[in-house]
Copies of this chain bind each other. A is one copy, B any other.
């Protein structure tokens, strides 16, 4: 039985009835994938199409190997002919999701049903490097991953890749990235040529947003924003169940919206960016003053220190976090004023420094937004496990593969 509360399956879960003009074939497939398992009658009911259509579409999908009937359905109760559930046939294809970052690349192998089959990591320089080097690292990573799962490159239908920077998902061109020395690198083409598999690139925040939409707290929601605080401040937005990539395809750079005229210096070289008040390096910058000593350690060690001191009641350390939290609140309230999402997810792998989203900061955010008759936009903190980003990248690839095979 299809169950709203159930969290099996993956992919965006349709909230209303049938949406738009996609072939019904694809809609049925995506519905079943989203549900995890669903009998034909549920498909018909919730997609608001006739049972007859479902029969013909599913038999087609079963014949071409995309769906399969679930064997054991030891039914609990109820009269009538028992429904036989359908599910995505995992063996219909495999995709890889990859996250490229500054210290560690990671990747997951995923089947068509969204199940993770293997993971792998590959450490890297920690410094900007030429994209040729990055491509080689991605190549090694893929080899490790496939070896672990006992698969060949030929088994892979597509690879989704997420990386920080300004990425044009449509063309695969990386206009700028903090991990690459080049600008306007055609990383998509280069990866495809090197790996011998179709590659889909996107900004890491978008990939994280897809992870929320497909596997996380965003399932079943059609309009929400995802904000992530790691090295920088990233943002992704889902509108009408789909990732919004900006009118021209270059992402939503919340981190570089200005929150202060002639403000603090950002690593992008401009002044007053939100990032320059909220990101880790902004905190580290002030830590030297607050802790009143030489800073010889690495950035993350300094932050740990600062955080511990703040917890201990160190006034200056607390002040640093508190101001950052207020600026985060300001940034989030701007998101609310402009996009009016139903929810904001603060998401990421290691959202620690909870000073940033302390009660008071969130209250301030609500206070900064225009009052409406409805309750203020809920902000939810969602810290994930290790493989989020890579899984989101896999979702990117899954989406492309199903659209390619089932789409118009």
Interface residues of A (CB under 8 A from B): 20-21, 166, 175-176, 183-184, 222-224, 239-240, 246-254, 256-261, 268, 270, 272, 326-327, 330, 333-334, 337-342, 367-373
Cβ–Cβ < 8 Å partners of A342 in chain B? 247-248
- The answer on a CB contact under 8 Å between B338 and A250 is no
- Partner of A176 from B223, B254, B334, B370 at Cβ < 8 Å: B370
Report which residue of A247, A253, A327, A373 has the largest number of chain B beta carbons within 10 angstroms of its beta carbon.
Answer: A247
A326 to nearest B CB, angstroms? 6
- The answer on a CB contact under 8 Å between A259 and B260 is yes
- The answer on a CB contact under 8 Å between A259 and B259 is yes
- Partner of A258 from B21, B224, B240, B368 at Cβ < 8 Å: B368
- The answer on a CB contact under 8 Å between B326 and A261 is yes
- The answer on a CB contact under 8 Å between B256 and A259 is no
Cβ–Cβ < 8 Å partners of A270 in chain B? 367-368, 370
Cβ–Cβ < 8 Å partners of A341 in chain B? 247-248
- The complex places the Cα of A247 from the Cα of B237 at a distance, in Å, of 10
- The answer on a CB contact under 8 Å between B338 and A257 is yes
A6 to nearest B CB, angstroms? 25
Copies per complex of this chain? 2
Contacts A270-B368, A330-B261, A368-B270 hold; do A337 and B373 have CB atoms under 8 A apart? no
- The answer on a CB contact under 8 Å between A338 and B248 is no
CB closest residue in chain B, given A340: B246
A27 to nearest B CB, angstroms? 12
- Partner of A20 from B21, B176, B253, B327 at Cβ < 8 Å: B21
CB closest residue in chain B, given A246: B340
- The complex places the Cα of A111 from the Cα of B175 at a distance, in Å, of 47
A194 to nearest B CB, angstroms? 23
Cβ–Cβ < 8 Å partners of A256 in chain B? 337, 369-370
Q: Which 8 A-B pairs have the closest CB atoms?
A: A21-B21, A223-B247, A246-B340, A257-B334, A253-B337, A248-B340, A258-B330, A184-B373
- Partner of A248 from B223, B249, B326, B327 at Cβ < 8 Å: B223
A106 to nearest B CB, angstroms? 26
- The answer on a CB contact under 8 Å between B257 and A260 is no
Cβ–Cβ < 8 Å partners of A254 in chain B? 337-338
A347 to nearest B CB, angstroms? 17
- The complex places the Cα of A247 from the Cα of B258 at a distance, in Å, of 23
CB closest residue in chain B, given A252: B338
- The answer on a CB contact under 8 Å between A258 and B259 is yes
- The answer on a CB contact under 8 Å between A370 and B248 is no
Cβ–Cβ < 8 Å partners of A251 in chain B? 340
Contacts A334-B334, A340-B247, A373-B183 hold; do A261 and B261 have CB atoms under 8 A apart? no
Cβ–Cβ < 8 Å partners of A240 in chain B? 247
- The complex places the Cα of A176 from the Cα of B371 at a distance, in Å, of 9
Cβ–Cβ < 8 Å partners of A166 in chain B? 370, 372
- The complex places the Cα of A184 from the Cα of B373 at a distance, in Å, of 7
CB closest residue in chain B, given A221: B247
Instruction: Identify 26 residue pairs between A and B in the complex whose beta-carbon atoms are under 8 Å apart, listed by A's number.
Output: A20-B20, A166-B370, A166-B372, A175-B373, A176-B372, A184-B373, A222-B247, A223-B248, A239-B247, A247-B340, A247-B342, A248-B340, A252-B339, A253-B370, A256-B337, A256-B369, A256-B370, A257-B333, A257-B337, A258-B259, A258-B330, A258-B333, A259-B259, A270-B368, A272-B330, A338-B338
A235 to nearest B CB, angstroms? 8
- The answer on a CB contact under 8 Å between B261 and A327 is yes
- The complex places the Cα of A371 from the Cα of B326 at a distance, in Å, of 28
Report which residue of A20, A184, A337 has the largest number of chain B beta carbons within 10 angstroms of its beta carbon.
Answer: A337
Cβ–Cβ < 8 Å partners of A260 in chain B? 259-261
CB closest residue in chain B, given A337: B253
- The complex places the Cα of A21 from the Cα of B18 at a distance, in Å, of 12
A239-B247, A247-B339, A253-B370 given; 5 more Cβ-contact pairs under 8 Å: A222-B247, A223-B248, A261-B326, A261-B330, A272-B330
